[in-house]
Structures are given as structure tokens and as C-alpha cells.
Amino acid sequence: MTLVEVLVTEPIMGRFAEVLTREGSSPHHWTFAFGDDPALSAAASTAEVLVCSSAPAALLGSMPRLRLVHVTGAGFDKVAMDALPPGVQVANTFHHGRSIAEHVLMVTMMLRRHVLRSDREMRAGVWSNVIVDSGHPFGGVVAGSSLGVIGLGEIGATVARTASALGMRVRAVRRNPAAAPPPGVTLDWVGGEADLPELLATSDVVVVTVPLDESTRGLIDATALARMRPDALLINVSRGAVVDEQALHDALTRGTIAGAGLDVWWRNPRDADRPPPSTLDFSHFDNVVLTPHQSGHTEEVFAGRARDITDNVDALASGQPLRNVVR
């Protein structure tokens, strides 16, 4: 195995430096440089591996020895692929399926049990439940209810397995409904993309897990939301733009759906002008759980990703095939 120069520019991975470097036993040279760190440009000139969440053309152009770009998650849309010379590989990593699936079920239970309302009332000194207030809504268990998954990739399949373990009946739509279900996934029903209206009309909980592309942008629009039952929930852990923002706000305002869990948004607050994550205000709804795109942010996820990255660096140094190569 030859020594490889590795440059890590994604700050979150700095918190997993011990995993990446195998607690200092890795034979490779690791440089951690984030943002405006002056060490970044010097390290870029010699680095053979770039570990990042984004790689602009200017940075790639300053890396003449580059052999591998390893993104720190599944998405590689922020890598300037056109700026990569031939022969430079790009790999990604996952591990977020279980974390996101648990988030989906947590949010579903919070909404079914009216946790947001109860928490707000308790903080205001109000003790209200079905025993003391005849108007207080009953909660509901998830066992026996139907969960409709839009997309059966890693996330959708893990959501399906987790929901089934809790006694939910799982339905799904996917691009190839004739394909065998993912391992361990039991489906009550499966349809193709054209069968989305049936899924929406027959699910107690609808979970959006499809990737964002031109075929899925605005997929959950006013027409789709109108097909959902008034006691149904919408959970989006995909991308904000898969759901029409105005249509969802209108449905929640009118009460035509029972609630929503939003972990992904329509705008990125980390952009230069730091806009709010949505044009419309969802913060006043007691039946909407709001989280800042963190459903996959567990320690187990990033530790697993760090192990994948360092395994691929070792493979590159040994001339072995890499895992999860996307280019």
C-alpha cells in the first residue's frame, strides 16, 4: 500500500477524524482544511483524494494530482463533474436509511399523538387530555394503519421495513412495480408512477422519498394533496421541491390533510443571502413538525460514512476496486 495524500474540506467530517485516520494508525497523510483556511490551497496542490460535500471547478482545477473525489453523503450534484479530468473517480456513501426511517416514524407518532399541541399547552401551564377535556382529540396508534411510500430506494425500503415492524401495512409506488421488493420489504400493494393517485387516496401516512429531478419536481401538487384523506399525514424526507410549497400550505390551512412532517425545504438558509427555508410560514401550525434537514444526522450515519471513505482510500492506495463509484 502506498501513502496517499488526502484533503478533507467538509467540516462535519472533522468531528470524525479519528475514524477516518483509524485513530492515527492510517498510513496516509490527512489534511483537514475548511472554508478560508490558508492550508487548503497548499494541500490541494498535492492531494490525491478530496473528501467533500461540494467541489467547485476552481478547487478541482487546483488539484493536478487528484485521483478520487469522495463525497461525504449520497448526493454528488455539488461536484463540478465537467471540471474533472478523465480517470478521476467519484464515489459516494450512504448509511442514512435507518436514521431517516426512524425519523419518519418518530414524526408520524408525534403527529398521531398530538405531541406538539400537548407540549405547547404544558409549557403554558395548561393540563389538557381526553380525561379532563371532552373536546381534546384522541391520539392514534400506528399499528394497523397504512403507510404509503413514494419511492423504494435505500430510504424508502428502510422506511417500509421499519413501519412493517411496528405493524403498519405498507404500500408503495416505484418506477418498476414489477421488480422484486428490496430484501426484507413486505408490501400490501405496489404500483407504478401512474398509480400515485391510488396510493395517496388509500394511505394514512404518505412518505416522500424519491430523488428530485424534472420528473418529480412538484410531484405532490394541489391535485395530489386533494386526493389524500383529511386524516392523512404527509412526511417529506426527499427534497423540498418535490412538494409544491403553496399547495401544501393551502392544504394545511384548510385542514384538508391532518398534518405534515417537513425535514427538507425549498430554499437553503446556508446560501449567501441566507433566505428563510420557505417563502410561506409553516411555524404556526400545531400539526406540522419542522426540522432543519437533520433526519439523517445521527452519529452512526457519519461514523459509517467515515469508515467507507477510509476503506476506499486504502483500496485506492492498494490498487483495489472502490465501492460506491458513481463516475
Q: Which whole number is the average pLDDT over 149-173?
A: 97
Rounded Cα distance between 269 and 220, Å, is 23
Share of the chain above pLDDT 90, in %: 95
Would the CATH topology of 5-95+299-318 be identical to that of 97-290? yes
Amino acid symbol at 322: L
Instruction: Note the pLDDT tens digit of each residue in 213-258.
Output: 999 999 999 999 999 999 999 999 999 999 999 999 999 999 999 9
How many CB atoms are located within 10 Å of the residue 171 CB? 22
For 172-177, the CB contacts below 8 A with 24+ separation are: 172/148, 172/199, 173/148, 173/149, 173/199
| Cβ–Cβ < 8 Å for 182, 217 | no
pLDDT at position 70, please? 98
Which of 3.40.50.1370, 3.40.50.800, 3.40.50.1110, 3.40.50.720 is the CATH number of 97-290? 3.40.50.720
Instruction: Note the pLDDT tens digit of each residue in 86-138.
Output: 999 999 999 999 999 999 999 999 999 999 999 999 999 999 999 999 999 99
Query: Predicted confidence band at 174 (pLDDT cuts at 50, 70, 90)?
Result: very high
Q: Where are the domains of the chain?
A: 5-95+299-318, 97-290
**Topology of domain 5-95+299-318, CATH:** Rossmann fold (3.40.50)
Q: Which whole number is the average pLDDT over 43-48?
A: 97
Rounded Cα distance between 260 and 238, Å, is 13
Does residue 313 carry a pLDDT above 90? yes
Instruction: Note the pLDDT tens digit of each residue in 291-301.
Output: 999 999 999 99
Q: Which whole number is the average pLDDT over 272-288?
A: 92
Task: For residue 156, give the nearest of 187, 126, 125, 130 by alpha carbon.
Answer: 187
Provide Rg for the chain, Cα atoms. Answer: 22
Instruction: Note the pLDDT tens digit of each residue in 75-84.
Output: 898 999 999 9
Does residue 308 carry a pLDDT above 80? yes
Q: Facing residues of 290 across strands?
A: 262
Torsion sign over Cα 143, 144, 147, 153: positive
In this prediction the pTM is 0.92
Does residue 272 carry a pLDDT above 80? no
Q: Which whole number is the average pLDDT over 35-62?
A: 96
